């Protein structure tokens, strides 16, 4: 009995019992479609979300923070082990807190504390795949234009990578060389009295005055004093008007300055005396003139990118400068040379991890949307795992059902097998025939399931897309169901194998029938 | 030398039963269907086995057709000791050496006449072209050349039995075994089938072992009639048109 004949006979047998065959097929198709759609759907949605996320600037940003990672040698356990008797849970909590505290202390004291200044910004810029580095700034100033006059915060942006281009309501984006232009938030513009679009358009090009209140800090004073060590405060003040403003604010309370040594305090007291109350200048204010280049809006609420609120501009920082201008203002006018954090713009999302690793090696803490995206991926695969289990159960139940109908079919075909055996068929030929019938059923079911899945994918596409778009509030492109050829092949193999295995037991029963008894049923 | 004698003898004596016994069931409900049976049948002989119901005729035929094995004794057909064959060899024996025709035809209802006849050839693994040729030849021999594509339910009883004969003969066996092949047919059709069977055995040079209730038919068509009772051979009638002993009553 050749395999071709066995297959031909199996086909014949399946075709002569159409109802049973169709019922079995239905079960197989249902199970396999479930598996295929789950695989394709989770893959497709994952890809779609990725393409949405990766197309946005948020996901290509890495924020570097001024803290240091703790190296292995810092982890000297003996330092935070608690030996006194207490409950295990409490000991764990205590040791954890103690460890945190000690490590923090160590960081600060042993010089491994990483700060971000203009030097390090340059270093960040030299990392692989980093397009631009924008320090995080908060510049406090008074903005006046005609009657309008308000104290607000400003922020530095990079025209190259801000992602603001699509959010310009009026006017235009800052250009790379534009150091004198600013962007203002539409709420700010509204407060300034610009309601209609014409009024907004008219606002563009207007000049505004930003008055930066200068301020100093005790430690800066200390370092300044140390720098001139017993020197001339007059000269220092003439170089830096901020110091004077600070001294004026201080009044006579030199004793409160705990960061100064007694000698420095002495020096300060002496010096203050030399500035007369009357001839002391007003706290200095630096005025700069800027031109409004454009008005921008924040991203609509309830957006996927809300997840990355750390990475966006909004009405809390209503004025945006070119980040280099803002850096100058912060350093020169504010006298602040350190930045809390810096945003590194990476060329592609795929490189974000590597940039984060590089920063980690340099000793910085990082934050990016990557962990968020990984969490989304995890959730998708967790959900699909549940669906897989359900689909597998369906397939197994189908397998049992197929086994069952095949047993019934063996019973109703008892005489047929008896006849075949009386004509000289061997046991293994009968097993082979039943096995091929099962496998064929599985194969046909699998092919039908694939076609059905592709069809469902085609028609279900827009449904799923609408759902996903509704959820993330973004245009989603690409296929919602992605049928990977390998995964599809595996699913089909499983279906065929399952059916073949399901037919083994009935096949075995069929083969072992006594032909005399079997034929008596005819 | 002995081997050659054995070989020639074996070719001549196609069927040899030596003290063949067959018992069914266990100690409590033991049935002795065949009791130390001794039968020898020569090549090309046409033998009828008669006997009353329950005398063990079908049991004997099942042993001869390789569907069952004797409890004791030796049974050899065409030089093969059936007691010694393993199940694969037994299947081969059924496939190649014997063709069996049953009272109830035993056609597969899901297959057409031609497909039924083709079945043993498929099992034997013959190529499709050869099969097609043999099947149509075979069907023509039984006079059903034009009913090849009909299913069993579309055929009369006599026609169905013809298909069964075609199926037995298509294998080109050495021995034709028939268990009351006319049992389900009216007397006119029975005579037709009997004639066909004889003609085919003659043309194809087959040894025939026929079980029948119809003493007249048996006497009319066969060379020898073996009368069985209670699992034993009680009488042998030789020659065509021989009459069976009156002591044997058949239903
Ligand atoms: N499978 C079996 N189990 C138990 N007893 C059996 C079995 N097959 C046959 N027998 C018994 O063996 C004896 C011989 O039966 P067998 O079928 O050979 O008779 P037969 O001569 O063919 O009868 P009939 O003319 O009615 O067909 C009978 O007593 C029968 O009851
Ligand atoms: Mg009988």
Q: Check residue B124 and give its pLDDT.
A: 92
A214: phi > 0 → left, psi -120 to 50 → alpha, else beta; which? beta
Residue A502's pLDDT is: 82
Q: Which residue, among A52, A58, A72, has the nearest Cα to A112 in the 3D structure?
A: A72
Candidate from A137-146, A285-294, B104-113 with smallest mean pLDDT: A137-146
* A298-314 b/e (C-beta count within 10 Å ≥ 16 → b): bbeeeebbebbeebbbe
Residue B207 has a pLDDT of: 93
Over 90: is that where the pLDDT of A403 sits? no
- Flag the least confident range among A102-116, A125-139, B106-120: A102-116
* Cβ separation A423–B92 shorter than 8 A: no
A437-482 pLDDT per residue, tens: 888 888 888 889 889 988 988 888 888 888 878 777 777 777 788 8
Q: Tell me the nearest-neighbour CA distance from A492 into chain B, angstroms.
A: 30
A88-111 mean pLDDT = 77
Name residue, tokens 């049953």: B102
Question: Could you report the per-residue pLDDT of A235-251, keeping only the tens digit for each?
Answer: 666 666 566 666 666 65
Q: Which helix (H) or strand (E) element contains residue A111?
A: none
The answer, yes or no, to whether ipTM is higher than 0.85 is: yes
Return d(Cα A99, Cα A383) in angstroms, integer.
Answer: 37
* A8-12, A212-216, B61-65, B112-116: least confidently modelled range: A212-216
Is the CB of B124 less than 8 angstroms away from the CB of A424?
Answer: yes
SS3 A170: strand
Please tell me the number of the ligand nearest to residue A516's CA. 1
**CB of B31 closer than 6 angstroms to any ligand 1 atom:** yes
Chosen for mutation from A424, A432, A510, A519 (greatest number of chain B CBs closer than 10 Å) is A424
Helix-helix angle A352-362:A370-412, to 10 degrees = 130
The pLDDT tens digits for A406-434 are: 788 778 888 888 999 999 999 989 888 88
CA angle B216/B222/B227 to nearest 5° reads 70
Bridge partners of B17, per DSSP, are B39, B75
Counting from 1 in the atom list of ligand 1, the atom nearest the Cα of B231 is 14
Residues ≥6 apart with Cβ < 8 Å to A69: A360, A363, A364, A365
pLDDT at A435 over 70: yes
The confidence score (pLDDT) of residue A466 equals 84
Tokens of A53: 């996320």
The pLDDT assigned to A250 comes to: 62
Contact: A423, B120; criterion CB under 8 Å: yes
Q: How far is A504 from chain B (nearest CA, A)?
A: 20
Dump pLDDT digits (tens) for A14-30: 888 888 888 888 888 88
A504 vs A110, more confident = A504
- Assess whether pLDDT exceeds 70 at residue A499: yes
Ion ligand 2 residue ranges (Cβ < 5 Å): B 58
Which among B65, B115, B122 has the least Cβ separation from residue A1? Answer: B122
Q: What is the mean pLDDT of residues A54-69?
A: 75
- pLDDT: which is higher, A126 or A461: A126
Confidence of residue B216 (pLDDT cuts 50, 70, 90): confident
Ranking A77-86, A219-228, A509-518 by mean pLDDT, the lowest is: A219-228
Can you tell me the mean pLDDT for B85-90? 92
Mean predicted confidence (pLDDT) in B227-248: 69
Least confident of A221-230, A319-328, B99-108, B134-143: A221-230
pLDDT digits (tens, 9 = 90+) for B41-76: 998 899 999 998 989 999 999 999 999 999 999 999
Count contacts between A and B (CB, < 8 Å): 69
Please tell me the distance from the alpha carbon of residue A354 to that of residue A344, in angstroms, as a whole number.
12
- Distance CA(A440)–CA(A24), nearest Å, equals 11
Nearest CB to B119; choose among A17, A420, A426: A420
Q: Which residue has the higher pLDDT, B38 or A68?
A: B38
B contact residues 97-126, partner A, Cβ 8 Å cutoff: 100, 102, 104, 106-108, 110-111, 115, 119-120, 122-125
Residue A416 at interface with chain B, using a CB cutoff of 8 Å: yes
3-state secondary structure of A331: helix
Question: What is the pTM (predicted TM-score) of this model?
Answer: 0.64
Best CA proximity match to B15, nearest among B103, B74, B90 = B74
Q: What are phi and psi of B244, to 5 degrees?
A: -90, 145
Q: In angstroms, what is the span from residue B52 Cα to ligand 1's centroid?
A: 11
Residue from B33, B37, B229 whose mutation best tests the ligand 1 pocket (most atoms within 8 A of CB) = B33
Note the ligand closest to the C-alpha atom of B53.
Answer: 1
Helices (H), A257-332: 262-274, 323-328
Q: Which atom of ligand 1 is nearest to the CA of B31?
A: 5
Q: Which residue's alpha carbon is nearest to atom 14 within ligand 1? A: B56
The two structure tokens encoding residue B14: 């196609």
Is the minimum CB–CB distance between A19 and chain B shorter than 8 Å? no
Residue A251, CB half-sphere, CA atoms under 13 Å: how many?
2
Question: Which of B68, B115, B167 is opposite residue A516, by nearest beta carbon?
Answer: B68
Rounded Cα distance, A259 and A281, in Å: 26
Residue A486: band (very low, low, confident or very high) from pLDDT cuts 50, 70, 90: confident
What pLDDT, in 10s, does the model give residues B229-238?
998 988 888 7
**Ligand 1 atom closest to Cα of residue B180:** 27
Give, in degrees to the nearest 5, the angle at Cα A475 between A471 and A479: 90
Nearest partner of A137 among A282, A342, A306, judged by Cα:
A342
Residues near A492 by beta carbon (within 8 Å), at least 6 away in sequence = A32, A443, A446, A447, A449, A450
Q: What is the pLDDT of residue A273?
A: 60
Band of pLDDT at residue A280, cut at 50, 70 and 90: very low
On average, the pLDDT of chain B sits at 87
Q: Could you tell me the pLDDT band of residue A117, with boundaries at 50, 70 and 90?
A: confident
User: Which pLDDT band, with edges at 50, 70 and 90, does A301 fall under?
Assistant: low
> B22 and chain A: CB distance < 8 Å anywhere?
no
pLDDT band at A271 (very low <50, low <70, confident <90, very high): low
In this predicted structure, what is the pLDDT of residue A379?
Answer: 85
What is the pLDDT of chain A when averaged over all its residues? Answer: 79
Q: How far is the C-alpha of A48 from the C-alpha of A482, rounded, in Å?
A: 10
- Are B122 and A519 an interchain contact pair (Cβ–Cβ within 8 Å)? no
- CA-closest residue to ligand 1 atom 7: B24
Q: Which residue's alpha carbon is nearest to atom 6 within ligand 1?
A: B24
Percent over 90 (pLDDT), chain A = 5
| Inter-chain residue contact A522 with B125, CB threshold 8 Å | no
In this prediction, residue B131 carries a pLDDT of 93
pLDDT in tens, A322-355: 888 888 888 777 777 788 888 898 888 889 999 9
Residue A278 pLDDT > 50: no
CA B213 to centroid of ligand 1, rounded, Å: 15
């Amino acid at each position: 009995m050749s395999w071709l004949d066995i297959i031909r006979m199996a086909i014949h047998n399946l075709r002569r019992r159409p109802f049973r065959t169709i019922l079995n097929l239905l079960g197989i198709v249902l199970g396999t479609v479930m598996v295929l759609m789950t695989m394709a759907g989770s893959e497709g949605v994952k890809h779609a979300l990725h393409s949405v996320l990766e197309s946005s600037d948020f996901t290509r940003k890495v924020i570097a923070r001024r803290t240091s990672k703790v190296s292995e040698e810092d982890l000297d356990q003996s330092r935070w082990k608690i030996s006194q008797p207490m409950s295990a849970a409490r000991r764990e909590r205590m040791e954890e807190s103690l460890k945190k505290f000690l490590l923090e202390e160590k960081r600060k004291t042993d010089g491994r504390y990483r700060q971000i200044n203009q030097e390090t910004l340059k270093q960040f810029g030299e990392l692989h795949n980093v397009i631009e580095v924008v320090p995080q700034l908060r510049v406090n100033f008074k903005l006046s234009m005609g009657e309008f006059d308000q104290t607000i915060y400003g922020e530095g942006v990079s025209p190259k990578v801000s992602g603001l281009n699509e959010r310009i309501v009026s006017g235009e984006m800052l250009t790379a060389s534009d150091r004198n232009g600013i962007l203002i938030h539409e709420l700010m513009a509204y407060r300034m009295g610009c309601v209609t679009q014409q009024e907004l358009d008219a606002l563009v090009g207007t000049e505004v005055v930003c008055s930066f209140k200068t301020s100093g800090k005790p430690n800066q004073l200390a370092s300044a004093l140390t720098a001139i060590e017993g020197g001339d405060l007059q000269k220092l003040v003439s170089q830096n008007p901020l110091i004077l403003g600070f001294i004026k604010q201080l009044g006579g309370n030199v004793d409160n300055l705990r960061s100064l040594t007694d000698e420095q305090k002495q020096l300060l007291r002496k010096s203050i005396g030399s500035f007369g109350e009357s001839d002391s200048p007003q706290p200095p204010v630096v005025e700069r003139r800027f031109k409004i280049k454009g008005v921008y809006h924040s991203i609509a609420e309830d957006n996927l990118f809300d997840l990355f609120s750390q990475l966006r501009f909004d009405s809390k920082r209503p004025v945006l400068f070119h980040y280099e201008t803002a850096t100058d203002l912060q350093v020169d006018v504010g006298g602040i040379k350190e930045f809390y954090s810096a945003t590194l713009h990476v060329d592609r999302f795929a490189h974000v991890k590597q940039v984060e690793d590089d920063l980690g090696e340099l000793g910085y803490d990082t934050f990016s949307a990557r962990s968020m995206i990984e969490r989304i991926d995890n959730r998708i695969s967790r959900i699909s795992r549940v669906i897989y289990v359900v689909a597998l159960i369906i397939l197994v139940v189908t397998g049992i059902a197929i086994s069952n109908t095949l047993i019934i079919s063996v019973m109703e075909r008892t005489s047929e097998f008896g006849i075949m055996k009386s004509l000289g068929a061997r046991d293994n030929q009968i097993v082979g025939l039943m096995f091929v019938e099962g496998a064929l059923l599985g194969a046909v079911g699998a092919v039908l399931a694939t076609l059905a899945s592709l069809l469902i994918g085609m028609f279900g596409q827009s449904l799923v897309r609408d759902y996903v778009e509704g959820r993330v509030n973004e245009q989603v492109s690409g296929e919602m169901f992605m049928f990977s050829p390998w995964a599809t092949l595996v699913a089909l193999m499983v279906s065929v194998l399952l059916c073949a295995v399901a037919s083994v037991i009935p096949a075995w029963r069929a083969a072992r029938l006594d032909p005399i008894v079997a034929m008596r049923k005819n | 030398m002995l081997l050659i004698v054995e070989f020639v003898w074996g070719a001549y004596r196609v069927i040899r039963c030596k003290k063949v016994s067959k018992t069914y069931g266990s100690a409590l409900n033991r049935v002795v269907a065949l009791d130390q049976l001794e039968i020898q049948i020569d090549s090309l002989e046409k033998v009828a086995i008669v006997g009353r119901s329950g005398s063990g005729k079908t049991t004997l035929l099942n042993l001869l057709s390789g569907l069952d094995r004797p409890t004791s004794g030796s049974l050899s057909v065409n030089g093969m000791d059936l007691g010694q064959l393993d199940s694969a060899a037994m299947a081969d024996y059924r496939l190649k050496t014997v063709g069996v025709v049953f009272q109830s035809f035993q056609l597969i209802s899901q297959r057409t006449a031609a497909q039924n006849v083709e079945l043993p050839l498929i099992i034997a693994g013959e190529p499709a072209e050869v099969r097609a040729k043999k099947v149509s030849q075979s069907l023509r021999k039984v006079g059903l050349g034009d009913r090849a594509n009909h299913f069993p339910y579309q055929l009369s009883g006599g026609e169905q039995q013809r298909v069964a004969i075609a199926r037995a003969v298509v294998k080109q066996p050495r021995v034709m075994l028939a268990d009351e092949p006319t049992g389900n047919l009216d007397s006119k059709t029975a005579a037709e089938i009997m004639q066909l069977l004889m003609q085919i055995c003659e043309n194809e040079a087959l040894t025939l072992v026929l079980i029948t209730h119809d003493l007249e038919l048996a006497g009319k068509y066969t060379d020898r009639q073996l009368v069985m009772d209670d699992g034993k051979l009680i009488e042998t009638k030789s020659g065509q048109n021989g009459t069976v002993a009156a002591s044997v009553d058949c239903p």
